[in-house]
Structure 1
Amino acid sequence: MNRSSLVNRGFDCRQLDDLLERYYLSPSYGLQFCLGFPGNLLVVLGYVCCLPKWHSINIYLFNLAISDLLFLCTLPRLSYLYANGQSESSPLACVLNRYLLHVNLYSSILFMVWVSMDRFLLVRHPTKSHFLQKPKAALVLTGLSWLAVHVQVVPMIALMLQDLRRRNWSRCQDFASLTGDVNTLGYSVGLTLTGYILPLIGICVFSLKTSRLLHSQESALQRRKATSYRRPLRVARAAAVMFLVLYAPYHVMRNVRIVSRQAWARLGVCTRMHVEGMYIVTRPVAFFHSVINPVFYFFMGDQFRELLLGKVRVLGRKMAWPRPT
């Protein structure tokens, strides 16, 4: 079926991406900002104002919240541009947005690896802290994690600058649509392996080790204590499932989208547009982790939930109107 017949039927496959951006991406990003920004801001303020003593897990979760918060701040502008059928006109904003997006994408799962490791060490050494559970060790791992993620994203920035220059700095493209001197497909596959698959394996390994350790120690532990130690296991499993469900479709479709644009693929225009449409659908799904992550802070932070709720109750009493006499 050629393009003219599609137009006669009232639909042009070339418009699929514009329709999805306006009626799917725009409301999805707006909803994610409305749901995720207050939760992550509350967590950041709670850590700063309520936590008297910081443990290793607090350091990991705080950096995760900061990463989510920075990314969420880019969503209102994206939502506005997509809703009005506009492309990002500022090259700086284009690069900064895609940079924060992918840094958040891969820092989130990496920090969750360290959270899973920390909970495993808590179960393995219940009476004393392992050296990796010391705040100084957590700070070192955090710094190395940020460095590793930035190194992973740097080639993408080079690709974006080349693509913007080729388009006379007038059109901001997503990662899977970039063209430049860097092999986009090879880079995307490598980023999928190092930034997603390996960290996901790490979370699964720590979850499995924690499960086996709990099973072997359960007879020696009191029932109440064993039940409290099962919470880290449940949360680690939930994190693995979350990243598998949310990240896998995005990474698969991103690589498929890049393949579909290669000349040797020999795909028709509408086939390429349908692939791009499926890729667009997976993008907000992957970024939805920034909305779910605050749930982990309340279940993983040491007494963080109790401290935060106590602070909220105190503020509520101070702000309440005095009762009439």
Structure 2
Amino acid sequence: MAHNCTQIDDMLEKYYLSPFYAIEFSIGFPGNLLVVLGYIFCLPQWQSYNIYLFNLAVSDLIFLCTLPRLAYLYSNEQSETSPVACVINRYVLHVNLYSSILFMVWLSMDRFLLIKHPSRNHYLLRPRTAMFMSGISWLAVNVQVAPMIALMVQDLQRENWSRCQDFASLKGDVNVLGYSMGLTVTGYILPLLGLCVFSQQIAHLLYVQERALPRRTTSYKRPLRIAISAAAMFLVLYTPYHVLRNVRIASRQSWAGLQLCTMMYIEALYILTRPLAFLHSVINPVFYFLMGDKFRELLFSHVRKLVRKTEPA
């Protein structure tokens, strides 16, 4: 029994993580690349929400580039041999994890302000402000994730620079459980509450406006659907991952006193949540096309022109 339970994580990495990461890359990379190129070459005038979406797409694109390497290693039952690649991979992964939900918060805020100020006369709706907010967001997320570098380096040293482990398996001078809990609160729970608050504010504002102008022809319900969908997506995808990550770290503490197989079962459940949490990078491109018809029209127009040029005369 003990032998079987110790093989669970290896089986899941080879037959679950490897194909799941390959699928996520195959679907998510083309979608996010299309959005990034579309924004660069097809969109002549950027609004504030375009800037948030562009940063979100860039973050997803960088992260997705790490998945082929992970899929290859897991499928061949190998561990990352390069310490530099190990640190960069895990660092990019977590920066993407927490930058994605943060940019979605700013996007929901932008949609709320647009309904409240349709003429875009609010300073938070200016492109320059959106660029500043994006820069602050990147800085904040990197500060949050920076302690992980020290943890990874210490753990690599302990393993003689030969074994690259995930966040929940690290050991070092930093209190891993305390750091993980803090990252969960500041990087996930607080932004999720922000998404919920803006969704509620958008719903309230629409309710008030519909009562005041019951016969208006313009509908602003799309921003509400986008905000609610984003909050629901992160709630469903991120919650199991963060809960199991903290449970996994706690199970490895000496005071937990758990048996080996119990710890392995907890690790197996944690492994199951990892690709689900990263599934947001595949789903996010849907939001880019829901945000407005202008970007879709410009993108499809350029694609049609390229197709016509490649067709034989």
1:146-166 Cα offsets, whole Å, 9 max, x none, are 000000001111100000011
Q: Counterparts of 1:62 and 1:191 in 2: how far apart (Å)? A: 24
Residue 268, structure 1, aligned to residue 259, structure 2? yes
The TM-score, its normalising length taken from structure 1, stands at 0.94
- Residue identity over aligned pairs, in percent, reads 69
Q: Which amino acid aligns with 1:115?
A: L
Match 1:168 to one of 155, 160, 175: 160
Task: Report the 3-state secondary structure (helix = DSSP H, G, I; strand = E; otherwise coil) of the residue aligned with 1:147.
Answer: helix
Q: Counterparts of 1:95 and 1:302 in 2: how far apart (Å)? A: 40
Task: Give the count of matched residue pairs.
Answer: 312
- How far off its partner does 1:220 sit? 3.6
Task: Report the 3-state secondary structure (helix = DSSP H, G, I; strand = E; otherwise coil) of the residue aligned with 1:240.
Answer: helix
Task: Report the 3-state secondary structure (helix = DSSP H, G, I; strand = E; otherwise coil) of the residue aligned with 1:218.
Answer: helix
- Paired position in structure 2 for 1:216: 208
Q: For the Cα contact (< 8 Å) 1:207–1:236, is it kept in 2?
A: yes
Q: Counterparts of 2:293 and 2:157 in 1: how far apart (Å)? A: 49
Matches within 5 A, 1:237-276: 237-276=228-267
Q: Counterparts of 2:275 and 2:120 in 1: how far apart (Å)? A: 42
Match 1:68 to one of 60, 82, 86: 60
1:53-79 Cα offsets, whole Å, 9 max, x none, are 011101000000000000000000000
Q: Counterparts of 2:293 and 2:128 in 1: how far apart (Å)? A: 17
- Paired position in structure 1 for 2:26: 34
Greater Rg, structure 1 or structure 2? Answer: 1
Q: For the Cα contact (< 8 Å) 1:159–1:178, is it kept in 2?
A: yes
Task: Report the 3-state secondary structure (helix = DSSP H, G, I; strand = E; otherwise coil) of the residue aligned with 1:88.
Answer: coil
Q: For the Cα contact (< 8 Å) 2:59–2:99, is it kept in 1?
A: yes
- How far off its partner does 1:116 sit? 0.1
Q: Which amino acid aligns with 2:248?
A: R
- Paired position in structure 2 for 1:45: 37
State the superposition RMSD in angstroms: 1.0
- Which stretches in structure 1 are left out of the alignment for 5+ residues? none
Moved over 3 A (4+): 219-223
Q: Counterparts of 2:121 and 2:195 in 1: how far apart (Å)? A: 20
Q: For the Cα contact (< 8 Å) 1:58–1:301, is it kept in 2?
A: no
Q: Counterparts of 1:25 and 1:71 in 2: how far apart (Å)? A: 16
Q: Which amino acid aligns with 1:258?
A: I
Q: Which amino acid aligns with 1:114?
A: W
Residue 102, structure 1, aligned to residue 94, structure 2? yes
Q: Counterparts of 1:124 and 1:271 in 2: how far apart (Å)? A: 52
1:107-157 Cα offsets, whole Å, 9 max, x none, are 000000000000000000113331001011101100100000000001111
- Paired position in structure 2 for 1:284: 275
Residue 139, structure 1, aligned to residue 134, structure 2? no
- Paired position in structure 1 for 2:84: 92
Q: For the Cα contact (< 8 Å) 1:159–1:182, is it kept in 2?
A: yes
Q: Which amino acid aligns with 1:293?
A: N
Q: For the Cα contact (< 8 Å) 2:28–2:282, is it kept in 1?
A: yes
Q: Which amino acid aligns with 2:309?
A: K
Q: Counterparts of 2:261 and 2:117 in 1: how far apart (Å)? A: 57
Q: For the Cα contact (< 8 Å) 2:251–2:263, is it kept in 1?
A: yes
